[in-house]
Structure 1
Amino acid sequence: MNRSFLNQSKHFQTSSTYSGLDLCLCEIGFNKLLHNEAIQLEVEKAVMKMLPSLHEKPAGVEGLRVFLILNELLYAIQRLRHGSLWEGPQTGRGFHGVEISMKVAAAVQSLSTEHLQITANWWTLSMMEDKSRHVNVWRTALSEVLGIEAFPHSSSKDILQILQNMYNVNKGKMKIPETAFCLEFSPIFIEQEVIRWRLHSKSMAVDNPPLLLCSFAFVMDFKSKQLVFQCNSDLTVQEVQPEWMLYQFQGLAPPPPSYFELNLRRSFLVEDSFRQLAEAPPTDIKKDLVVFFDGDTKITNVYKKDFFHHLFPRIKEEKPEMFRTNDSETLVWFSIKEPERIKADVYLFGLLCGLALHNDCIFPVPFPLVLFKKLLGVKPTLLDMMEFCPEVGKSLQYIMNYEDDDLEDQYIFFEITWDDTVIDLDPENPGKPVTSQNKKQFVDAYVNYVFNQSVESVFQEFERGFFQLCDRDLLRMFEPQELQRLMVGQDDYDWEKLKQNTQYDLPLLENGGQLFRFDSHLQNPTMQMFWKVFDALTEDQKKDFLWFVTGSRKAPILGMGQIQMTARLKIITSGSPDEQFPESLTCHNILDLPSYSSEDIMRDRLIQALEAERTFSSEEERWSV
């Protein structure tokens, strides 16, 4: 097999960086060969017979070609199996095909580190479409193995390790998207995996240890990771209510759950929430959160949304000593002026961030990505300075790009001013100039001071609060951008998706003594008028509309497809519809629209609603005036 599908003009150049194979010939050849079902069976039998003979130490690099060829063979088998009725993984044929994938994976993983590196080099230097195809082969194989109960989950470790090796060397200009490695896992699998992980993390014996959460989280897509996090939070809520679990174990109807209650006054939001958090027992804050405002004891998610939506602007206003704002006033970072004074408040702020995540709430805190990198143990870089302080970042980049040897003549020193404080980055060498030889040291020291050294004690308090509710080890499955998205939502607004997902609750109308209902919103003049007006709104006005209907200006963490708005015609019992304003029920994402007589009137009333001062939502409805 090693002598098959060779590039006739170049195969003599085979080396640790070139396989000598023509992968296009592989694909064409296997597609023709395997098109006949009987021939495919014989090929599969031959491969199964050959695999045990593959030596762990092939003779020369040419002996490794077979593993690339087997990739192409698996791809062809999977395509044929997935394109016909007899190929399902639970059938005998499908079962056999999955077994081949497992055997090939085991053979690959039996290679020495040196030979694995050579195959990795070949893969890294191959064409983009070849790389994507090979990743898809093993991603499909993993999905099939996990879908067959006869195979223990440990059987997929060789496949996962192959994907891990590809993931690790997927760099440079020819890098394929990291999402190419991801699978969406079922809620049942996720729950079982989280339970195994929780037992494993408590050093309890587990027959099947967690498969993905310890070593291979990179194969989970964001939706699966979010589901893992929420499942773990739900299990934590149950764990801190032992009486609830006892009733469930005995098959009895459980008592009403207990909650972590925040009883707040709208006018004293920060004072009340900080005080009650500081006084709360550690186990209580792990329960489901409910928020009550001004003595209203209704349990509603609307109040939780409002709480986290309004909280940070209030904190920034009432406790300005906690944060410093960047020059454009779009992002904040921890202040370095009075660390001892703000430590207690920063701890509670970290607790609030963890509380939002634990309760699946968006908390729109305007921190740069570096906050989430630090929470995950990722080192800050110059790119983080570029985000938070673009002018400083550009200056540092200029220094890094400066190629002449006279940088010392620019009179730049290891002394900076940050947060109105003069800092010597090398106190043992006062007045040290920046030169071509030490410019990287200067830039690294600058970035390290801003994001690490200057806020070390304060950030430790933030972390201490944050990880009261969020498991540090579990969070490592996220990339920094994913953790940021989980907390603050996202800015990817697909307004067409909102329109497509909208449902309509239109009343019966009378015409000539007959009752009828519009067949669709497209026949309803008010709904037609609304979407014309909506499409003409500015981007900020559309975000205000999102807040008006859902209680959040941010898109949901899983995208706009998560929003299902219901548009209704508002029933007017007295007066003219043109005198009325739109209303919304944020707890159900319901929009009530009067039947306006013209687009101009609708536009005027809607914009007035969106421009009105944002106050806390009513549980019953949000009025625009």
Structure 2
Amino acid sequence: MLLLSSDGKLSEHRATASATRFETRLLKELGNRYIVQIACGDHHSMALSRGGELFTWGQNAHGQLGVGGQVTCAAEPQLVEGLKGIALAQIAAGGAHSLVVSLSGAVYSWGKNDSGQLGLGHTQDRDCPSYIGALHHWKTVFISCGADHTAVLSKDGLVCTFGAGEAGQLGHNSTRSEQTPRMVAELWGARVSQVACGRRHTLVYVPSLGKVYSFGSGEEGQLGNEGKSNQLVPLPINLPVDNGKQNQGNSTSQKEIKIIAGGNQSIILLLKKRNSYLNLNGIATLKDVWISNSYSQKWEDTRKDISLIFSSEACINGSFLEQRDKHFRTSKEISGVDMLEVLRFYENISCEPRVFQEVKQEIKKLLPSLSLSPISPENFRIYLILPFLLREKDDASYHSLGLLAQAIMRLQPRDLQILESLLSNLEEFFFKELISIYQRASWNNLSQLIFEVRFCRRSLFELRCQERATLHILQFLFQVKSKAGFRIHKSNFYIPAVKEIIRMCFCRDVKKTALWKLTKYPCIFDMQDKIAVHDIERSILSLHCLINIMSFPLEVQEPWFFPVRRQHLLQDVWDILNNAAPEQFRRMLEVSFDGEAGVDEGGLTRELFSVAARALREPGAGAFRRLASQLLWFPRQASSHGNTFFLVGTLFGMALYNKCIAPFPFPQALYKKMLQVELTLEDLKELLPSEGRSLQQILDEEHDDIFENLDLNFTILEEEGGSTVVTELKENGTNIPVTKQNRKEFVDLYVNYVFNESVQKPFKEFMRGFSRGCPAKKWKMFLPVELQAIFEGHKKYDWHLLEKNVKYSGYRKSDETIKSFWDVFHKLPEEKKRMFLAFLSGSDRIPASGLEDFTFVIADPEKENPDAYYPVGNTCSYILQLPRYSCKRILKKRLLSAIEHCENFGLP
């Protein structure tokens, strides 16, 4: 027997070793914990503390203690680790099984299960808490256990039972046992408020009728029906004070009823209204205490409440619940947390420095002990709540955020998937604020790193655990944002301090260890930063002989001389690549065109890739398919192409390594595949607009009869060699019609076939070649849209920005020739301006780095007869030699004449 006092102290009344007398002792093993609920089984006990901890002790032959199977018997209370962090509302003990229910109605069971009394759909014992999935969304508020059966009460007054039913104790008008929860149909609509299970009988109370109903075993008169027969369905008990009519002044309507079921007994208590005995005491939450008035005489009580709640994972998870029963819908998609309430609480305590400081101290102490193996979505509430309580911009909050991030990093992959799902269903405002919180913490950490490096207190070799942790969470949030489709710009993740670290790596002769570790979190780099990292890696690879770096002195690498004939460009390129050694790809190219003068300082290399890209776009090249969208894609069958795609991939990789635009008209899907980003129907719409629109119509269709008329199945029709080939998208796809129920699967398989299954071999060869052509690896930091911009450049021209970035040699900006030049230039048609850009740089595309970093020089060639001298563009060094003309008309004529020679760059 357990005895619980009003001050939360728990005592145990038990037989002595001689069994001749009984003794009562205080359970000192529970320390100073305030116990709010107790429950006793046949040979085990349970106790719930106000701090949210569940303790069990006694026999464990069937796992009824919930602490695993290693313990056969525990004389002292054991913490049920499996329920750590779950905000429990009630506990119950059966003969040899145990159940608990959370504040949000989740029910967990463990112990003996030979009759299905755990409600798990089988009869195997469980030695650790298991979630009863069949009660999901049941809104459970109360549970009761018999010897081998269980009853569950919902907030709506519905009752379901499961387990042993040989005496009718389940109320289903049968003696059959039930392994999964089944609603008691006879009580439908009665709105039950209490339920109690005896050993083999059950009681329920319906307050609207003032009636107590009983069912199950009646062999000792426990059903209160003046007989000893069993009852298979609920029947009312005739109370002595109520013979069917409510007499004024002597009626149960004047009383509060409490029902109790013993082993083979039933007790009905008539209590005064609002008697505290009717209400279960629960764990501490912020609803139960008011944290304020920190300087009042009650500060010590307030401090104790703060310590109790914020040192408990369960108490925090039980606070801030959504109102109006929304939290009963908690799942892998719904957290059940009222985030506005969290923000309101933060605003309140931030105005109370003493309270706020106490809260932060307790959170800091709690963080290292957070659950490593959460069993419910309710466990994950703390990862949504705590960041918003640590929003303050101070070192203490940043430190605690680092500890919280470390706790998240310790979660298993399956648990991170649940957290990802909960985050993706947050309102965008809160998700953006969450990003901001971790971004500020990461910025602070990296700024501290820079400060310590500058004053020689630390090297750039390593990142500390907390620095890595906050960056890891920031990258995790970026992935969630990308999958969930939040309209949050990537700039919200950037950390400006990264630029200084990159600059330090450029300027200092130090190992790039810290920078390389930072590249694991690409979201914190803007595009310019990523390009800079790519440049650093290229510099290392091109300047050093990396193969022998550990055993030989560093060797400065000469450029890779690359002679080609313009008329046989692709043939020459393929010949060189087929015979190239792996180490040659680490060098920078130095291109020469046969029979043409010119020294390659970058311009001829850019021209090589521009001309090669144009040649491969031609139908006669035979490598890629040109689709109706005018985009290129891989052929479905690549066996007849030899090593073409390996060579094309090599050339493509070389373009990236040599920082050259290669304007292949590929869809963004290619860059997603390269970066292993999942492809969607939106990508198919870009590549095959007509098919994409048709598939979207299938997804949007709401009428079932339309699918019958479409006569679609899980196949795809392809034209090949003048004939139609039928390919099944899944096994036996020809015989599986597309319906409203399976259309999403059909569309997903269709997209997967086009982008993956049908081009698996050529794409694999392409990537094998790409890795050869670009030995650098940091390109994987880029987003697909960024990688596409690097390869293709872009066509967003800001000509005034181009003018702003110009430098002058032999001229001043105020010179008349310069004023005339820009006056002529800005009046040129857009097409002529683009041709001038190609004339100057080798391409009419803007580099991915943008015009901000595009600087060219206008120089005076100092010719004696400038009217006879044309403007000369040096694509190698971005220098325009502009003679001093006498009038704008001649300047315009000579400039237009010069840029007409840009046809080799494939302009329109």
Fold agreement, TM-score > 0.5: yes
Aligned to 2:696: 397
Give distance in 1, aligned partners of 2:292 and 2:487. Answer: 26
Is the counterpart of residue 526 in structure 1 residue 838 in structure 2? Answer: no
Deviates more, 1:256-265 or 1:104-113: 104-113
Provide the secondary structure at the position in 2 that maps to 1:176.
Answer: coil
Aligned to 1:482: 786
Give distance in 1, aligned partners of 2:401 and 2:783. Answer: 31
Q: What are the within-5 Å matches in structure 2 for residues 564-603 of structure 1?
A: 564-569=855-860, 571-574=862-865, 577=867, 581-596=870-885, 598-603=887-892
Aligned to 1:219: 524
**Identity level (%):** 25
Aligned to 1:72: 391
Q: CA deviation at 1:541?
A: 2.8
Provide the secondary structure at the position in 1 that maps to 2:724.
Answer: strand
Is the counterpart of residue 423 in structure 1 residue 725 in structure 2? Answer: yes
Is the counterpart of residue 309 in structure 1 residue 610 in structure 2? Answer: yes
Residue number among 451, 461, 464 corresponding to 1:154 in the alignment: 464
Q: CA deviation at 1:270?
A: 1.2
Give distance in 1, aligned partners of 2:342 and 2:734. Answer: 62
Give distance in 1, aligned partners of 2:448 and 2:707. Answer: 59
Provide the secondary structure at the position in 2 that maps to 1:141.
Answer: helix
Q: Which structure shows the higher strand fraction?
A: 2
Give distance in 2, aligned partners of 1:212 and 1:506. Answer: 44
Aligned to 1:236: 541
Q: Kindly tell me: are residues 421 and 182 of structure 1, through their superposed partners in 2, closer, same or farther at Cα, counting changes over 3 Å?
A: farther
Q: CA deviation at 1:580?
A: 5.1
Q: CA deviation at 1:450?
A: 2.7
Q: CA deviation at 1:381?
A: 2.2
Q: CA deviation at 1:48?
A: 6.2
Q: Kindly tell me: are residues 131 and 534 of structure 1, through their superposed partners in 2, closer, same or farther at Cα, counting changes over 3 Å?
A: farther
Q: CA deviation at 1:351?
A: 0.8
Q: Which structure shows the higher helix fraction?
A: 1
RMSD: 4.3
Q: CA deviation at 1:63?
A: 8.0
Q: Kindly tell me: are residues 505 and 121 of structure 1, through their superposed partners in 2, closer, same or farther at Cα, counting changes over 3 Å?
A: closer
Give distance in 1, aligned partners of 2:342 and 2:820. Answer: 59
Give distance in 2, aligned partners of 1:62 and 1:376. Answer: 32
Q: What are the within-5 Å matches in structure 2 for residues 367-406 of structure 1?
A: 367-405=666-704, 406=706
Give distance in 2, aligned partners of 1:315 and 1:573. Answer: 45
**Contact 1:182–1:220 under 8 Å retained in 2:** yes
Aligned to 1:51: 364
Q: Kindly tell me: are residues 308 and 209 of structure 1, through their superposed partners in 2, closer, same or farther at Cα, counting changes over 3 Å?
A: closer
Give CA deviations for 1:402-445 in whole Å, capped at 9, x if unaligned: 22212231355634345766231328555876443443344334
Give distance in 2, aligned partners of 1:232 and 1:304. Answer: 20
Q: CA deviation at 1:390?
A: 1.9
Q: What are the within-5 Å matches in structure 2 for residues 430-509 of structure 1?
A: 430=734, 434-470=738-774, 474-507=778-811
Give CA deviations for 1:334-371 in whole Å, capped at 9, x if unaligned: 2346x223231221111111112222222222211111
Which residue type is aligned with residue 187 of structure 1? I
Is the counterpart of residue 354 in structure 1 residue 653 in structure 2? Answer: yes
Provide the secondary structure at the position in 1 that maps to 2:664.
Answer: coil
**Contact 1:497–1:560 under 8 Å retained in 2:** yes
Q: Kindly tell me: are residues 533 and 442 of structure 1, through their superposed partners in 2, closer, same or farther at Cα, counting changes over 3 Å?
A: farther
Give distance in 1, aligned partners of 2:361 and 2:736. Answer: 68
Aligned to 2:275: none
Q: What are the within-5 Å matches in structure 2 for residues 271-350 of structure 1?
A: 271-294=571-594, 298-317=599-618, 319-329=620-630, 331-336=631-636, 339-350=638-649
Aligned to 2:566: 266
Q: CA deviation at 1:560?
A: 1.0
**Contact 1:382–1:393 under 8 Å retained in 2:** yes
Give distance in 2, aligned partners of 1:381 and 1:470. Answer: 27
Q: What are the within-5 Å matches in structure 2 for residues 4-15 of structure 1?
A: 13=322
**Contact 1:70–1:104 under 8 Å retained in 2:** no
Give distance in 1, aligned partners of 2:857 and 2:699. Answer: 54
Give distance in 2, aligned partners of 1:47 and 1:443. Answer: 50
Give distance in 1, aligned partners of 2:407 and 2:576. Answer: 57
Deviates more, 1:422-431 or 1:153-162: 422-431
**Contact 1:263–1:291 under 8 Å retained in 2:** yes
Q: Kindly tell me: are residues 293 and 346 of structure 1, through their superposed partners in 2, closer, same or farther at Cα, counting changes over 3 Å?
A: same
Give CA deviations for 1:467-486 in whole Å, capped at 9, x if unaligned: 11435964433222222223
Aligned to 1:560: 851
**Contact 2:652–2:770 under 8 Å retained in 1:** yes
Is the counterpart of residue 17 in structure 1 residue 337 in structure 2? Answer: yes
Give distance in 1, aligned partners of 2:352 and 2:895. Answer: 65
Which residue type is aligned with residue 602 of structure 2? N
Q: CA deviation at 1:26?
A: 5.2
Provide the secondary structure at the position in 2 that maps to 1:72.
Answer: coil
Provide the secondary structure at the position in 2 that maps to 1:467.
Answer: helix
**Contact 1:502–1:565 under 8 Å retained in 2:** yes
Q: CA deviation at 1:107?
A: 4.5
**Contact 1:18–1:122 under 8 Å retained in 2:** no
Give CA deviations for 1:239-264 in whole Å, capped at 9, x if unaligned: 43778998866xxxx6x633322121
Is the counterpart of residue 134 in structure 1 residue 437 in structure 2? Answer: yes
Larger gyration radius, structure 1 or structure 2 = 2
Q: CA deviation at 1:310?
A: 1.0
Give the TM-score of the pair, scaled to structure 1. 0.75
Is the counterpart of residue 541 in structure 1 residue 832 in structure 2? Answer: yes
Give distance in 2, aligned partners of 1:177 and 1:393. Answer: 27
Q: CA deviation at 1:12?
A: 7.6
Give distance in 2, aligned partners of 1:51 and 1:462. Answer: 51
Provide the secondary structure at the position in 2 that maps to 1:504.
Answer: strand
Where does structure 1 lack aligned partners over 5 or more consecutive residues?
Answer: 78-96, 198-207, 508-519, 618-625
**Contact 2:629–2:686 under 8 Å retained in 1:** no
Where does structure 2 lack aligned partners over 5 or more consecutive residues?
Answer: 1-284, 294-318, 328-335, 372-377
Give CA deviations for 1:568-589 in whole Å, capped at 9, x if unaligned: 3454533x73x65432111221
Q: CA deviation at 1:307?
A: 0.9
How many residues are aligned here? 552
Give distance in 2, aligned partners of 1:613 and 1:217. Answer: 38
Give distance in 1, aligned partners of 2:750 and 2:707. Answer: 17
Give CA deviations for 1:145-184 in whole Å, capped at 9, x if unaligned: 4323457512312322342443344365754222211223
Q: CA deviation at 1:278?
A: 0.5
Q: CA deviation at 1:608?
A: 3.6
Give distance in 1, aligned partners of 2:757 and 2:510. Answer: 36
Q: Kindly tell me: are residues 19 and 447 of structure 1, through their superposed partners in 2, closer, same or farther at Cα, counting changes over 3 Å?
A: closer
